[in-house]
Structure 1
């Protein structure tokens, strides 16, 4: 019935700080459309970004900056991801560590964005 995720929403303290972080650190594309939430696009998905003072309806019952915890998949070597994090002053919180994802075993690194959301970047083991 369900085949994937199109987007999810992050509620943030600062739209500008969050977008700059994901653009710089992970290479996301920022999309601004009048009357719509700002989006950060990557692959075939996106993250809609709601600033806490400017949310869009409908929304989560109690949107809060820093409450996100999600995993992103990469095809790049994790050493490359780690180097990019380090070059951008992002502290690696954990990893690489082995995890089990939706499609099987993977190696993951964890870090936090400007709001404290936990971001996991993973590469499936072949």
Structure 2
């Protein structure tokens, strides 16, 4: 059975739009992702002014991370039981970077005293075998893997 018979999108038309991370302090989280990880903060002023429910950070042209305060959990009613997702861990989110960006991220993390794992080598992922990867946590305990392929 090939991927198309299972209904998987094989024409690269499916993209990851956003990931919602539960955080204690959205502005502190946005600051971490901007200054440590190197992402662009979005809607932080609007959040601080109370105009929007959460800020975000931009991963790339197509993908953002929404930084949802835990206080929003009680309003998660898109599906029965959705509010129960607050505090349910995702194992990790993996960021794919160029070799230079990978090294720069590791340096920034260490400069800010963020614990990083040892390197892993030849780990399988969406683009095949990654040359190197490592793990780190954000201030809310969300685990990230950083890797580069080429």
Mapping for residues 70-85 of structure 1, pairs under 5 Å: 70-77=93-100, 78-85=102-109
More strand by share: 1
* Distance change in 2, residues 1:81/1:66 (3 Å): farther
Match of residue 52, structure 1, among 48, 66, 70: 70
For each residue in 1:26-81, what CA deviation from the matched residue of structure 2 results, as whole angstroms up to 9, or x when unmatched?
11111115335311112121001100013564474423347241001111433322
Mapping for residues 1-126 of structure 1, pairs under 5 Å: 1=9, 3-32=14-43, 34-35=51-52, 37-44=54-61, 45-55=63-73, 57=76, 58=78, 60-65=82-87, 67-68=89-90, 69-77=92-100, 78-106=102-130, 107-125=132-150
Aligned length: 125
* Distance change in 2, residues 1:30/1:66 (3 Å): farther
Larger CA Rg, structure 1 vs 2: 2
Task: Give 5+ residue unaligned stretches, structure 1.
Answer: none
Higher relative contact order (CA 8 A, sep 6+): 1
Task: Give 5+ residue unaligned stretches, structure 2.
Answer: 1-8
Aligned-residue Cα RMSD (Å) equals 2.2
Q: TM-score, normalised by structure 2?
A: 0.72
- 3-state secondary structure, aligned to 1:89: coil
More helix by share: 2
Q: TM-score, normalised by structure 1?
A: 0.84
Q: For 1:66 and 1:22, locate their aligned partners in 2 and report how far apart those are by CA, in whole Å.
A: 21
Q: For 2:116 and 2:68, locate their aligned partners in 1 and report how far apart those are by CA, in whole Å.
A: 25
